[in-house]
A and B are shown apart, each in its own frame.
Chain A
């Protein structure tokens, strides 16, 4: 088995939890890269620091995870992206941020580095060359027409049909890796929770789980359950917003009006129960920052009832509206082999047949005790990604009911004072509404030495380029909204 072979051919790192980490020679690193290219393993992430490169890989069936570390004192290491496209942007980033040199990486251009961090004038970015008759280019962004994050989309069109989309991201790069290095854990937590504001709960959840793994901190059962409640409220709020926004981009604004009301009800419930509409800074190492009282439980139960009653007519409205279906069905098709090859998570992967959900396949508390279905479709178009969200909202409501029905008593937060000065390495994967968020970190003396945050979008943004091909320009907003990738989560 591939994972066993990797484990047998490396030096096991002690103090790395919960999954094993092995230090390997370049030959074994390359062998793992070959397994990724052959589709035997899925890339979870590749990242660097001065003098070393790391990759995390997933064996999909009977899911197992392993981390490989390669010491590269001269900065050079074999690029995974040479043969496995999903790694390319991550490795361009390793070059930008840590000066590493991925040998054989086919794309020599910087990615997050726009040449603006120093004083010299920035060099122009060389977009890929285009050949052909009757082609024109449409540059969009970084500032976009709506209330939305910035990024650049360079379309090449033949009449109305898009023949290529090339993205340039990195506009909201805030230097999070560097800010985290050396930060005391509480400050690092605040930053991690602001990597992607719409997924602040998922990021804080993953960061805290990684810290708890590194330091051997146990989280009380009540806190585990409350983390799940917040995570599912965040998922519902985002899916409702997306559902409305996708319909709005097909000019059906009535749906957005109603979904925005339902989303507002979720946020007001979150504020009343946990003290913040987006639940920022509510998950801390050892538990949660605010406990849920009986009044809060009642509010969430009332919310579940209201959402069930009000959401169902909206789904029927969507399903019965032929002019809306005409826009979403058959638009923006993502091939299942691409979803699988890129390890695309969330609604992007599951709408195109990739049956993976971190909550089930790399189960973490409280999900390891809960019953829920993972909806998967193979039609892979905008409509499919809408239906995955609809089904996930239904599942989230079921999860919330289970969590409240079985809410354990006891404390909502364990003391972490004794553990917090120890050294350790920890890693966690949490299912954010977009898909799996990975956090890997090394701590010592109460500070973060290195923390790598990998948003689900790294393996979804490139697929948007594939998905828009052959569609009309006017369908780009639909395709883009149906993905809803994170700019800030990606740009770090």
Chain B
């Protein structure tokens, strides 16, 4: 077991910080500067699946692996919206999840940001015209950053999250 434990320490797999995405950086620059000063060193993230196919969740999970190592940037996931600075929302918001998303948003103390992750969260994507779907996350709660992709890769997710920190 000791060998397995030490294996990751000898040759670290952790990759360098990805370059900033210009679009996301520009978006983030428009965010409230006071909020950025308050929250800009580390962020507690609450993830909410508002209807996704689970593809985005898989890539969000990957952020915690040794290659991407999210926590070294001061970003970490929390279990309760009451502990969160950021809501990370996936999926076209289904009508069955609308209330749960709204209540989770209201339970998150200010200042807070909402990151819409994935093409479905952006505008409903292939599910947009369904009777069962509201639309993108912005149709239900205010959205600060949209990270597109189907699903977005961990690098794209990192670029989006790091832009919030102004790093």
Contacts and interface: CB of A to CB of B under 8 A. Distances in A.
Interface of A: 114, 116-117, 142-143, 145-150, 170-176, 178-179, 187, 190-191, 194-198, 200, 241, 254, 257-258, 260-261, 263-264, 267, 277-278, 280, 313-314, 317, 320-321, 486-488
B53 interface: yes
Given A197-B58, A264-B67, A267-B62, 6 more contacts: A147-B57, A149-B52, A150-B97, A191-B126, A194-B150, A197-B56
A145 B84 CA distance: 12
B96 A172 contact: yes
B47 interface: yes
A169 to B, nearest CB: 10
B162 to A, nearest CB: 18
Interface in B108-167: 126-127, 129-133, 150-151, 153
A145 B54 contact: no
A258 B5 CA distance: 9
Contacts of A176: 127, 130
B77 interface: yes
The 9 closest A-B pairs by CB, nearest first: A197-B55, A175-B132, A175-B130, A197-B53, A260-B65, A145-B79, A116-B95, A197-B54, A194-B53
A320 B2 CA distance: 13
Interface residues of B, number: 51
B100 A143 contact: yes
B104 A143 contact: yes
Contacts of B81: 143
A195 B50 CA distance: 14
A174 B130 contact: yes
Candidate in A170, A171, A254, A278 with the most chain B CB atoms within 10 angstroms: A171
Interface in B44-98: 47-62, 64-67, 77, 79-81, 91-92, 94-98
B121 to A, nearest CB: 13
B96 A197 contact: no
Contacts of B95: 114, 116-117
B49 A148 contact: yes
Candidate in B3, B50, B95, B133 with the most chain A CB atoms within 10 angstroms: B95
B1 interface: yes
A124 B51 CA distance: 21
A176 B154 CA distance: 27
B1 A317 contact: yes
A260 B62 contact: yes
B100 A150 contact: yes
B30 interface: no
B8 interface: yes
Given A187-B126, A260-B62, A280-B150, A148 B55 contact: no
B94 A173 contact: yes
A10 B57 CA distance: 46
A175 B128 CA distance: 10
Given A148-B57, A194-B126, A174 B4 contact: no
Contacts of A148: 49, 57
Nearest to B60: A147
Nearest to A261: B66
Contacts of B131: 117, 175, 178
A199 to B, nearest CB: 9
Nearest to B68: A264
Contacts of A187: 126
B53 A179 contact: no
B49 A149 contact: yes
B35 interface: no
B13 interface: yes
A488 B129 CA distance: 17
Nearest to B130: A175
A200 B126 CA distance: 14
A246 to B, nearest CB: 14
Contact of B133 (A175, A257, A258): A175
Nearest to A141: B100
A187 B150 CA distance: 15
Contacts of B79: 145-146
Nearest to A150: B49
Contacts of B97: 142, 150, 171-172
B8 A258 contact: yes
B51 A174 contact: yes
Contacts of A313: 3-4
B48 A143 contact: yes
B94 A171 contact: yes
A285 B153 CA distance: 26
Contact of A116 (B77, B98, B127, B150): B98
Given A142-B100, A200-B55, A174 B94 contact: yes
A171 B127 CA distance: 15
Interface in B1-17: 1, 3-5, 7-8, 13
A24 to B, nearest CB: 32
Contacts of A257: 8, 65-66
Contact of B53 (A171, A195, A260): A195
Contacts of B77: 146-147
B127 A254 contact: no
Given A150-B100, A194-B126, A261-B66, A486 B54 contact: yes
A264 B61 contact: no
Given A116-B95, A254-B5, A198 B55 contact: yes
A258 B4 contact: yes
Contact of B92 (A145, A174, A178): A174
A162 B7 CA distance: 40
